Structure 1
Amino acid sequence: MLYLTPLQSSVVPILLILGLRLVLPSVLNPTRTWQRSLLYGGCIFLGVRYAVWRGVDTLAPVGLTVDYATSLSLYIVEVLALIGSMSAFVLMSRTRDRSDEADTHAGWWGDRGAPKVAVLIATYNEELEVLERTIVGARALNYPNKAVYVLDDGRRDWLQDYCARQGVHYVRRPDNKGSKAGNINHALTRLAAEPAPPDFIAVLDADFVPHRAFLARTMALFHDPTVGLVQTPQHFFNADPIQHNLGLEKSYPDEQRYFFDHMQPARDAWGLAICCGTSSVSRFSAVQELGGFPTDSVTEDFMLTMALQARGHQTVYLNEALTEGLAPEGLKEYVTQRARWCLGLMQIARSRLGPFSREKIRLRDRWSVIDSVFYWLPSFVFRLAAFVYPLLYWFFNITVVDAQVPDVISYFGTYYAWVLLTTTLLSPGMIVPFFHDVSQLLGAIPIARAAVVGLLKPKGHPFSVTAKGGDRSRIVVQWRIMRPFAILWGLTFLGLTLGILFDSFAYYDAGDGKSVVLFWTIYNLLVLTIAVIACIELPRRERHVADAPERTLVELPDGGSQAVWLSELTRTTAVLRGLRLPENSALRLALRDVGPVDGYVVGVGSDSTVVQLVLGAAEHEALIVRLHAEDNTPGVQRSNIGNVLRDFGSRLIRTGQNRG
């Protein structure tokens, strides 16, 4: 008879889960609630099982000791983070896709004529290079009854002149009270005073370009008079700092893809879709009923969601790529933006629309805010604790986890494997271990600080604008962001080395605690290494992440023509493959949706030619529309581990070659 050792027995459930991973894709329908509920129910069951085991079997002996206080404090933080995960599992057990509904009710207004929509572009300090994309894209919308308004909180005369040339409305106000929400509210007051106020308002950030079908698709969902707001996902035409700095622009999704592609449809199925500010359309009468956008929080969009739902208006989600924007290009801006989101959510939690408010708020809306609080506060605190607590073991012999390796595999390993199974089946290509941890770790310190400050002191915080544009042509090391991770890396490496080489360090083996913390520490070192690399910002050049090679016709200097591959296209340059011409050679390109464009050669490679485009005003705007307003889906939608490792390896090799 075959007997398994405890270690072998602990691996069996994980092997069974791996087997399920091979079988389930052929029978699973990710849109069916009962199937999603079974998978996420398994996550909840195994998560509770793991939490109970941690509390019963892995803490240091009870007593007034440093060991017990340390292991208990880590356990409490971990359990709070687990509660947040359980809440997310419940949310993700449903999903909803409204594309068929939008198809069915397109043009629901019929012979009455399309409702009037005011497209509001809120701006503060963005450059023309950023703003013109959005303004030109808004003018190109395929919707018959629209008016474009540029709301300038920077009070810039040059922008007023540009708007006049573009034939769009320019609005400025005497102060900046209420930040973005105050800017929009000032415009709403003016719109309400017009002889024919709009029926709906669309809100765009200054760096978000609407696709041509944005209004036609979102307006279809307002066939239901109870719908107060329609939100669409935010896609990006450039790589975010983590993608760019790690060399993963073509293989790893941007950090917000999971939320917009999977969490928002799940929230919509519960009636909890969140307004995310830009890329949304609201019913004008519903917003007026509230007295405008709430100004109680620096995340006025989430608070608008709560306010609309409290008045009985639905907020719904259309999961179609209908806008594309400029992701934060610098790591500092990336972290600042997320800390602002966290601060705003904590302000809402303490506001009149918070989860313990006496207002008439649905129970599910209270849960929605609580879920967000658990996401922002304990989860990011736990991420930091996971890197600090092993050091207490290596340097001070403090018991962090008192556990046997087979038990860790049986309880934690099984839970983790089931979560990965569920995630890869229902949200494929979204989570890659190590890299996902890095994306969460980089902002953990300011986010955790913002969470605590926001809860303790919700009022009196200024609105931090996310800087966009500017010179990104040099390597920049974000020392301030890197410093704590570099210090943690050094301490972790030193502690690991001392613990391995000297018995006087980490000699207290709590169960198999040393083995457990050893694996934990090695994992931390790898994550911290990638985090440090991500803090080195590489030079950027304009690149549209939706670029795909296409054939185009080139008129040559000798009067002939040649079909070549157009491999890259920006607002100023084109890269052609299969053609070699001397520098300064004049030529003419036939660009789809733009027309014939003159240019001249400015660079020659082994099999490529870089062309400087010479554009008139009409061609320039047509090119902007082609690059940014076409109805496509920019960016990477899902990852492949092999491609991620290949691209990251290439990033490391390039760095080594440059240093050499």
Structure 2
Amino acid sequence: MSNKRRAVYILAIVLSVIYLLWRVFFTIPWHANIFTLIFALLLVISEILSNFTGFILIFFRMLATRKKQDITIPDYDPKQTVPDVDLIIVTHNEEVELLRKTVNAATFIDYPDKSKVHVVISDDGNRPEVKALAEHYHVGYSGVVDNKKAKSGNINSTMAKLDSPLFVIFDTDMIPFSGFLNATVPLFQENFRQLEEDPDNTEPLGFVQTPQSFYNADIFQFNLFSEKVIPNEQDFFSRDVNVLNGGNKRALFTGSNAVFLRKAVDEVGGFPTDTITEDFELGTMLNMAGYISLATKVPESSGITPIDLKGVIKQRTRWARGVIQSCRNLHIFTNPKLSWINRLILINTYFYWWAFFRRMVYITAPILYALFKIQVVNANFWVLMVVWAPGYFLLHYVMGDTSGMHETNGKIRNERWGEVQETFFAPYLFIPVLLETLGIKAKKFKVTSKNVTISFKDRLYMLPYFFLWAITLISIIKFNYGKYGSEILVGSVITFWLLMHFINLSMCLFIAMGRRVYRKNERFTRQISGQVRRDETWHPFTTEDVSEGGIAFTMPEDSGIELKEGDKTDFQLEYRHEKIMLHGKVARISHRGKQAIYSAMVSVEPDRNRDYYLQLIYDGANQTLPRVQDTWITPFDELYMNFIVRAQAFERNFGRRFNRF
């Protein structure tokens, strides 16, 4: 980081601290009624915590160096024997066909000695169909009956039957890429060698976390028609924040796609069973036991993320309550076993889940003044401009500069998108976080379903967004109605915040409205050579993209044949020295210039063909989804585009119904 940029960061922090001191000592209405005073204190505490978490991110960014962030994966050491590795695939009640993709991919994982890779399905339910799946793929099976300890109990039961020095955890829907072990195990080999050569100055490696990656668009990408504009919402943490944590040797475990040192996990007593976020807690327990943890940047597996509003909200509620539980179990504020950097990371994680409570406070504060003249900040407009504006806008710039600096060709997320996502979760998370903090636990949680199911009851989930959106709109109109001249200027701060929240809530409304899902399977960009049968002759082609139900391909211009829509035929793909046979028909023909692009619906026999075809599809990230944000597209552009697209859809539907009459 340049000295100039560092100076700007420090100046932003200094100006923000000056503002916060002014807020605490000069703007709180101490003589107001009890409601106003309580809300005023909540507002100033929220501002302090928001700035504090921002300062931590800035501090970590300043602390980071390219060497610390960019972990170089070494080659296998030829002088060392590669260790045995247990691949544990954890399942609860997920569909067998979803589990099949992960198990199939695990059997394709590359390793110098494949006999040392032991795939085991850890089945919380002891289901016969899952056991049959294990037998089909010739992998291990561990079934649990009457498990009372959730995911941790399931894993601990399986681990009791295994003894490899390293083990990997995969969730049912997290499909590993073939290079997964090659991108992680050499880090352990390197650490083993360093421990032998210099044990006094080498910390043992407890686990390596690879990014959580998803092959389908998340609820923000999909419902906002932004699959080409913004990365997955979880990328900011997995590919940036946790990489920063790993740069300080304190990466957090995020539940799947991680390789562990078996000795370390045994030393801390296995997976903890007194929390619903056993991943977060286990990672910290290993750090407290003296083991370091690293996070890599490049995804080595890919899963499916829920896109229905109910499923997403339930998933985040479980995570929020679990982290609060684990932070209480770990005593993050007072535990003497925590290093200062570890404590800072955990405190920052803890306060992240309070961001949604703070967001509700921020949304409510200007509404109280606009509608009810409840003034929770005693401040002269001009003093406010002098003390607040410089620090706010400079910190806003710095936070935008520090958000998603991970990628060299762009940012993962800017601050404005962060506010939209924060606003989206706020109405549903602030109460669970508060209750869990007070020790009021929820009933038993269920595993989040990845199937999209939208009923009338699901539609009711959008009511909080509509209520907040409507009352914010009313506040904007009422507060500015009849004002002119200096009145508009003096009230501009309130109007500014109301407009910002109105834009965010409008985006949330569009997200909550949902979007009809037409595609049954996700498409992956894959360039695979193949052949299509025509008149008993095979003709070459190259795929553009593939999915479980179809392929798109192009043929050489001099092929001499022309396919038509509806033509039934056979296809043959060449992959890993195998020939995959597909049956199908041409469904659509489009053109790119003079080049014809054929889209075909295909099916594959449930045999070795299917296993290789699944591997062809899922071995690698979905390149159709962006890794960085399109900086030319702003939330205002997204707002306009969603309005136009949805208005056109409404017009089409209205037109169809009108024509019926």
Superposed pair shares fold, TM > 0.5: yes
Supply the AA of the counterpart residue of 2:107.
R
Task: Name the CA shift for 1:213/1:568 in 2 (closer, same or farther; >3 Å).
Answer: closer
Q: Structure 1, unaligned stretches of length 5 or more?
A: 1-27, 192-196
The answer to whether the 8 A contact 1:354-1:366 is kept is no
Supply the AA of the counterpart residue of 1:641.
T
Q: Which among 155, 159, 163 is matched to residue 130 of structure 2?
A: 159
Q: Does 1:387 align with 2:369?
A: no
The answer to whether the 8 A contact 1:442-1:481 is kept is no
SS in 1 for 2:160: helix
The separation in 1 between residues aligned to 2:226 and 2:338, in whole angstroms, is 43
How far has the Cα of 1:570 moved from its partner? 0.4
Equivalence for 1:85:
54
How far has the Cα of 1:385 moved from its partner? 1.4
The answer to which structure, 1 or 2, has the higher relative contact order (CA under 8 A, 6+ apart) is 1
Equivalence for 1:590:
573
Supply the AA of the counterpart residue of 1:655.
R
The answer to whether the 8 A contact 1:36-1:94 is kept is no
The separation in 1 between residues aligned to 2:184 and 2:219, in whole angstroms, is 30
Q: Which among 149, 157, 161 is matched to residue 178 of structure 1?
A: 149
SS in 2 for 1:107: coil
Q: Does 1:74 align with 2:43?
A: yes
Q: Which among 585, 599, 604 is matched to residue 583 of structure 2?
A: 599
Equivalence for 1:218:
184
The answer to whether the 8 A contact 2:365-2:376 is kept is yes
Equivalence for 2:375:
399
Equivalence for 2:100:
132
After superposition, the C-alpha distances for 1:214-233 in whole angstroms (9 at most, x for unaligned) are 11221111131411111111
Supply the AA of the counterpart residue of 1:170.
Y
Equivalence for 1:375:
352
Q: Which among 113, 121, 125 is matched to residue 89 of structure 2?
A: 121
How far has the Cα of 1:112 moved from its partner? 5.3
After superposition, the C-alpha distances for 1:381-412 in whole angstroms (9 at most, x for unaligned) are 12111211111112111224533374353332
Equivalence for 1:619:
609
The separation in 2 between residues aligned to 1:328 and 1:338, in whole angstroms, is 11
Supply the AA of the counterpart residue of 1:146.
V
The answer to whether the 8 A contact 2:118-2:139 is kept is yes
After superposition, the C-alpha distances for 1:5-48 in whole angstroms (9 at most, x for unaligned) are xxxxxxxxxxxxxxxxxxxxxxx67xxxx787555434422332
Supply the AA of the counterpart residue of 1:64.
A
The answer to whether the 8 A contact 1:235-1:634 is kept is no
Bigger shift: residues 46-55 or 205-214: 46-55
The answer to whether the 8 A contact 2:42-2:361 is kept is no
Supply the AA of the counterpart residue of 1:162.
L
How far has the Cα of 1:343 moved from its partner? 1.2
Q: Which among 305, 308, 312 is matched to residue 286 of structure 2?
A: 308
Equivalence for 1:24:
none
The CA RMSD measured in Å over matched residues stands at 3.1
How far has the Cα of 1:585 moved from its partner? 2.4
Equivalence for 2:500:
523
Task: Name the CA shift for 1:425/1:166 in 2 (closer, same or farther; >3 Å).
Answer: closer
The answer to whether the 8 A contact 2:404-2:411 is kept is yes
Task: Name the CA shift for 1:256/1:634 in 2 (closer, same or farther; >3 Å).
Answer: farther
The separation in 1 between residues aligned to 2:442 and 2:44, in whole angstroms, is 34
Q: Does 1:324 align with 2:308?
A: no
Task: Name the CA shift for 1:272/1:634 in 2 (closer, same or farther; >3 Å).
Answer: farther
Equivalence for 2:648:
657
The separation in 2 between residues aligned to 1:602 and 1:484, in whole angstroms, is 46
Supply the AA of the counterpart residue of 2:100.
E
The answer to whether the 8 A contact 1:591-1:597 is kept is no
The separation in 2 between residues aligned to 1:618 and 1:234, in whole angstroms, is 29
Q: Does 1:338 align with 2:338?
A: no
After superposition, the C-alpha distances for 1:446-477 in whole angstroms (9 at most, x for unaligned) are 32223222222176753431212x356x7988
The answer to whether the 8 A contact 1:151-1:171 is kept is yes
How far has the Cα of 1:530 moved from its partner? 0.8
Q: Which among 269, 272, 285 is matched to residue 263 of structure 2?
A: 285
The answer to whether the 8 A contact 1:552-1:591 is kept is yes
Task: Name the CA shift for 1:289/1:68 in 2 (closer, same or farther; >3 Å).
Answer: closer
Supply the AA of the counterpart residue of 2:263.
S
Q: Does 1:41 align with 2:17?
A: no
SS in 1 for 2:321: helix
The separation in 1 between residues aligned to 2:448 and 2:174, in whole angstroms, is 13
Q: Which among 491, 511, 514 is matched to residue 537 of structure 1?
A: 514
Identity %: 23
Q: Structure 2, unaligned stretches of length 5 or more?
A: 193-203, 556-561, 592-596, 652-661
The separation in 1 between residues aligned to 2:494 and 2:8, in whole angstroms, is 30
Equivalence for 1:557:
534
Compute the TM-score of the two structures, normalised by the length of structure 2: 0.85
The separation in 1 between residues aligned to 2:275 and 2:58, in whole angstroms, is 27
SS in 2 for 1:165: helix
How many residues were matched structurally?
Answer: 613
The separation in 1 between residues aligned to 2:250 and 2:264, in whole angstroms, is 17
After superposition, the C-alpha distances for 1:145-188 in whole angstroms (9 at most, x for unaligned) are 11111011132111111110110111111112110011000111
Supply the AA of the counterpart residue of 1:462.
K
Task: Name the CA shift for 1:630/1:494 in 2 (closer, same or farther; >3 Å).
Answer: closer
Q: Which among 632, 636, 652 is matched to residue 642 of structure 1?
A: 632
How far has the Cα of 1:264 moved from its partner? 1.3
Q: Which among 23, 28, 52 is matched to residue 21 of structure 2?
A: 52
Equivalence for 1:485:
465
Task: Name the CA shift for 1:360/1:52 in 2 (closer, same or farther; >3 Å).
Answer: closer
The separation in 2 between residues aligned to 1:107 and 1:298, in whole angstroms, is 36
The separation in 2 between residues aligned to 1:644 and 1:518, in whole angstroms, is 20
The separation in 1 between residues aligned to 2:346 and 2:528, in whole angstroms, is 50
SS in 2 for 1:566: strand
How far has the Cα of 1:634 moved from its partner? 7.4
Supply the AA of the counterpart residue of 1:88.
L
The separation in 2 between residues aligned to 1:82 and 1:321, in whole angstroms, is 31
Supply the AA of the counterpart residue of 1:601.
K
Supply the AA of the counterpart residue of 1:322.
E
1:194-233 residue pairs with structure 2 within 5 A?
197-223=163-189, 224-225=191-192, 226-233=204-211
Equivalence for 2:327:
349
Q: Which among 489, 494, 509 is matched to residue 474 of structure 2?
A: 494
1:235-246 residue pairs with structure 2 within 5 A?
235-246=213-224
Task: Name the CA shift for 1:302/1:482 in 2 (closer, same or farther; >3 Å).
Answer: same
After superposition, the C-alpha distances for 1:342-386 in whole angstroms (9 at most, x for unaligned) are 2111112211x2224556333333333222122111x22121112
1:100-119 residue pairs with structure 2 within 5 A?
102-104=72-74, 106-108=75-77, 110=78, 113-119=81-87
The separation in 2 between residues aligned to 1:508 and 1:327, in whole angstroms, is 50
The separation in 2 between residues aligned to 1:233 and 1:453, in whole angstroms, is 30
Q: Which among 441, 444, 451 is matched to residue 462 of structure 1?
A: 444
The separation in 1 between residues aligned to 2:316 and 2:153, in whole angstroms, is 21
After superposition, the C-alpha distances for 1:75-113 in whole angstroms (9 at most, x for unaligned) are 222112222222232233333667976543x323x3553
Equivalence for 1:628:
618
Q: Which among 279, 295, 299 is matched to residue 277 of structure 2?
A: 299
